[in-house]
Chains A and B, each alone.
Chain A
Amino acid sequence: MRRAAAVFGMACILAVLALLQMAIQAEWIDAYVIPLPTDMLASLPRLVAEEHIVARFGVTFGETLSAGLLALVVGVALGAGLYRWPRMRRAFEPWVAVFAAAPLVLAYPLFLVLFGRSSLTIVVIAFGSALAPVVLKTLEGFTAIRPVLINVGRSLRMRPADEFRMILMPAALPHIFVGMRLALIFALINVVGVEFLINLGGLGQLINELAERFDLPGTWASIGLVVGVSICFFVMLDGGERWLRARS
C-alpha cells in the first residue's frame, strides 16, 4: 500500500505540473511570472554550462558541512559539559533555549562587517544558528539515559572518562544523531538564505542574480535545484541515521 501511495503522490505532482503547463499556454496564468515548467527544465542545461552550477554546489555544500560539523562538535561538547555540571545546566539551559529561538540571521549585516564579505561570514552565521539546537538535543539525549546503565557503571567503579566513552556516549548516540541532522538542516537553511541575502557564494547567490536579471525560468530552475539539494541531504541523513542505528 505504501508503495502504491508513494507512486500516487508522485503522479499527482506531475499532474499538477501538467495542468500548470496547459494553463500557462492557454494564457490563464501570466507566463512572465510563472514560466512554462518545460521552459524551467530547459534552462537547466544552460545554467549548468554558464553559471558553473557544479562549482556553486560545491561552495554551498562546503559551507554547510563546515558549519554543521562545527556546530555538532561544539554543541555536543557544550551539551556534555552542561550535563556533567548540573548547576551550570540549571543556570544556562534557559539561556540556550532563548538563543535557539533567536533569529540570529537578522543580524547578518553585523557579521558582514565583523568577518568581511566572504564565506567565513556565512559559515559563522550558520554555525551560530545551528549550535543551540544541537546543545539542547544533546542534553536531552544524555538526560534520557536509563539510570540503570549509569548505576551499572558506578557499581563497576568506572572512571569518568570510561563512563563517558562506554556508557554515556553510546546511549546518547541516537539523540546525538538527531542533533546532527538538526545541525546540518539548520546550517543548510542559513547558508543558502544568507548567500541569497548578501549575494555571495553558491546556489543562494545564483537565485538572487537570476531573479535580478529577470531570467524567470532560470530563477525557478535554481529554486528547484536548491529544493533538490535539500531533499538529497534529507534522504542521505535519514539513510545515514538508520545505518548508524542498525550498527549501534
Chain B
Amino acid sequence: MAARAKLNQAGVMLPRIVAAVVILCAWQALALSGLLFRDVIPPLQDLARGLAGVFTSPDFYANLLVTSVELLGALLVGGAAGVVVGLWLGGSRFAAAAFERWIDYLGPTPKIILFPVLILMFGVGMQSKLAMGAVSCFFPIAISVAAGLRGVNPVLLRVGRSFRARLDQKLLKIYLPAMVAPLLNGARLGFGVALIGVLLAETKLSKQGLGFMVMDAYQHFDMPRMYGLLIVSVGMAAGVNQLLQRAATPTKT
C-alpha cells in the first residue's frame, strides 16, 4: 500500500519536473535570444536577483503593511456588509426574489471602473483603495452567505425548533457549523477579488502599497524587480487561497 502511494508520488513528480524544466529552459532561451525588447523577459539569474532584492529592500515591508491594512479593512467592511445582506437574502424568500438578481447582475461587473468615483469620495489615500476592495468583495460574500443559509438542512432547523433552541444556540450550533464550507468559500473568493481590487487601485493612483511598487518598478523599467514583486504578490494570493480551500473542504471520513 505504501509502496503504491510512493509510486503515485513519483508518478506525479516526474511530469511536474519535466514541465518545469521545459518552461524554464524556454524562458531562458527567449531571454537570451534578444528577440524581445531589452529586459521584458529577463534571464533567470536576473529574475532571481530581482526576487531576492524584493525581500531585502526595507520599503517592501512598509508597502506590504500598507496593502495588508487596506486588504484587511476591505474584507472587514465588505465582508460585514456581505454577511448582513447575505443573511437577509438567504433568510427571506421575498427579499431574495426581489433583490438577489441585482446582486447577481452587479457581481460580474469589473469594480475597477468605480475607482474614479471612489477617489472623489474618499481621496487618494488608503481609504479609496480600501473602498475599492470592500466593494469588490461584498458581492461574492453576499452570494455565498445567501446560498449557504438556504442550503442549511431543514431537518436540522426542525430539530432545533423541537428542542426550543434559543437564537444564539441556533446560530452557534446549527447555522454556523452547517455554513462553514460556503462561508469559507465565499471568504476565499472575496479575498481574491478584494486583493485584485486593492492592487489595481494602487497601480492606478497611489504612492504606497504593493501595486504602487509594481508600477514604480515598471516605470523605471526595472523588470527583474517588477517580476519579483509580481511573483511575491501572486504567491501570497495563491497561498492564502490554498489555506482557505483546505479549511473549506472537510476531511473525508
Contacts and interface: CB of A to CB of B under 8 A. Distances in A.
Q: Which of A6, A192, A227 is most buried by chain B, counting CB atoms within 10 A of its CB?
A: A227
Interface string A181-200: 00001001110110011000
Nearest to B13: A91
Interface in B116-146: 116-117, 120-121
Contacts, number: 139
A101 B192 contact: yes
B187 interface: no
Contacts of A152: none
Given A102-B234, A193-B110, A220 B101 contact: no
Among B8, B14, B108, find the residue whose CB has the most chain A CB atoms closer than 10 A: B108
Given A103-B195, A211-B116, A196 B233 contact: no
Contacts of B110: 188-190, 192-193, 196, 204, 226
Given A90-B8, A234-B108, A109 B200 contact: no
Contact of B237 (A92, A103, A114, A204): A103
A8 B101 CA distance: 12
A107 interface: yes
Interface string A95-121: 101100111011101100110000000
A5 B94 contact: yes
Contact of A223 (B14, B117, B233): B117
B120 A106 contact: no
A109 B15 contact: no
B97 A1 contact: yes
A110 B199 CA distance: 16
Interface stretch (B78-86, B157-165, B210-218): B210-218
Interface in B194-208: 195-196, 199-200, 203-204
B68 interface: no
A227 B109 CA distance: 6
Nearest to B217: A109
Contact of B105 (A8, A33, A103, A227): A227
A91 B18 CA distance: 11
A91 B15 contact: yes
Nearest to B188: A101
Contacts of B114: 223
Chain A interface main SS type:
helix
B150 to A, nearest CB: 15
- The secondary-structure label for the interface of chain B is helix
A148 to B, nearest CB: 23
B226 A226 contact: no
Nearest to A204: B113
Contacts of A90: 8, 11-12
Contacts of A73: none
A24 B214 CA distance: 39
A226 B109 contact: yes
Contact of B109 (A1, A9, A113, A189): A189
A166 interface: no
Contacts of A98: 238, 241-242
Given A103-B234, A107-B230, A197 B204 contact: yes
A185 B106 CA distance: 12
Contacts of A105: 196, 200
Contact of B218 (A97, A109, A212): A109
Nearest to A233: B108
A193 B238 contact: no
Interface string A1-28: 1100110110011000000000000000
Contacts of B121: 33
A52 B203 CA distance: 28
Interface of A: 1-2, 5-6, 8-9, 12-13, 32-33, 87-88, 90-92, 95, 97-98, 101-103, 105-107, 109-110, 113-114, 185, 188-190, 192-193, 196-197, 204, 207-208, 211-212, 216, 219-220, 223, 226-227, 230-231, 233-234
Given A113-B37, A197-B204, 16 more contacts: A1-B94, A6-B98, A90-B12, A91-B13, A98-B238, A102-B238, A106-B203, A106-B233, A106-B234, A107-B230, A113-B40, A192-B109, A196-B113, A197-B112, A223-B117, A234-B104
